[in-house]
Amino acid sequence: MAFKRYIVWQDAGGRTKATIPCTSTGATAIQAALAAQSNAAVQEYFEGADNVLFPSPTSAIYPDVTDMARLTFTDGFGSLANLSLPAPVGSIFLADGSTVNSAAIAAIITAAVGNLCSAGGSTVTAFVSGQRVSKPNSDSI
């Protein structure tokens, strides 16, 4: 059985971004690990019942939810799964400011491996890479 958690992130400017990780057992640990490495804050989420929170996001080097780190994982069959980290903290990147340092996101990797689902439906077995990506600014989910 697969679980999907709809997570709404809010940045310091009030902009929001939704992410929807698919997991085999639930995304509680993934959400917590992502939040620990994001300047955005979780505004609300649901995986069953909706949970509305009162966020206090951080204004820092990547405060906008349109700035993301795309974290790529693979399953045992070569299928990939991308996990988005909105408004990532600057310390997760290597000196180039674009490549994610896997050691800095160890908690995210631990939470995802064996739980995050690939497009093929299998759980991921390994972290592949992470890159900073920026999307055009949008105030909607």
Which residues does residue 6 pair with via DSSP β-bridges, in sequence order?
46
The CA dihedral of 31, 32, 34, 40, to the nearest 10 degrees, is 100
Q: Are strands 22-23 and 67-75 parallel, antiparallel or unpaired?
A: unpaired
- pLDDT at position 137: 54
Domain ranges of the chain: 3-134
Tell me what pLDDT residue 49 has: 59
Token pair listed for 48: 């069953």
Regions of the chain with pLDDT less than 50: 139-141
Predicted confidence at residue 87, as pLDDT, reads 93
- Counting residues of the chain whose pLDDT is more than 70, the rounded percentage is 92
Cα–Cα dist 8/138, whole Å: 14
Helices (H), 1-141: 28-36, 106-112
Cα–Cα nearest to 123, from 135, 133, 115: 115
Q: Please state whether the predicted TM-score (pTM) of the whole model is above 0.85.
A: no
d(CA 63, CA 73): 24
CB-based contacts of 135, cutoff 8 Å, min separation 6? 66, 68
Residue 136: its pLDDT value, please?
61
